[in-house]
Amino acid sequence: MMAGTPETISTPYGEARITRANLGDGLELIFLARHGAGHTLPPHLINHRANIAALRDLQVEAIFATTAVGSLQKEIAPGDFVLLDDFLDLTKGEVVTFFETPGQVRHIDFSEPYDASLRQLLLDTRDTSLPVHPRGIYLCVSGPRYETPAEVRLFARWGADVVGMTGAPEAILCREAGLRYAGVSLATNYGTGLMPGAVLSHADVEAQMASRREALAAWLLRAVHAEP
């Protein structure tokens, strides 16, 4: 976690834990660890509504979300970054709307699921020495288990590029809350069965994420400073 001032934000949907950091020149960065301190929350128990409501109430201007994902395509290798431009939501049971009160029905357009200007900003500030795929479809499942080989084959046939467990609820709620949102995924592994003989382990996923953490943080800081 970055150095800064941690605090708890109360919302009508529960509490969210954030950390603030002053970057100078009037810039404030707010970091929110969706899985909690020490990665203690499994994906299906994350309170996405509290997290996004807190960012909305703090008047955040832009959200750069990072996710560790499995690759569904052989050309997206572990260690590659994917700048998301669309998603498929297959989550089960999570509440992914703020509009659930009778008489408060809203239907939100998702013809462009991720903010185009933030995506361009990320493209413009990327490190060209690192592998970055400029487009990618994120398929979201509830987890916490990894996918079966049959699921991986099916998801790939549907056109999905990567699979994760958190990105769709965030994107949906940010759009409802009027927050600009962009997603960068790091492929930490190939999906089950994509590479014969490979066995997934959480330790390997964590190791791959750690190997790219500094590069990812530097990229996002460049984007934050370049944001108009």
Architecture of domain 62-226: 3-Layer(aba) Sandwich (3.40)
Predicted TM-score (pTM) of the model is: 0.93
Q: How far apart are CA 139 and CA 149, in angstroms?
A: 15
pLDDT one digit per residue (tens) for the chain, 228 residues: 456 778 999 999 999 999 999 888 888 999 999 998 888 899 999 999 999 999 999 999 999 999 999 999 999 999 999 999 999 999 998 889 999 888 888 899 999 999 999 999 999 999 999 999 999 999 999 999 999 999 999 999 999 999 999 999 999 999 999 999 999 999 999 999 998 877 777 788 888 888 999 999 999 999 999 977
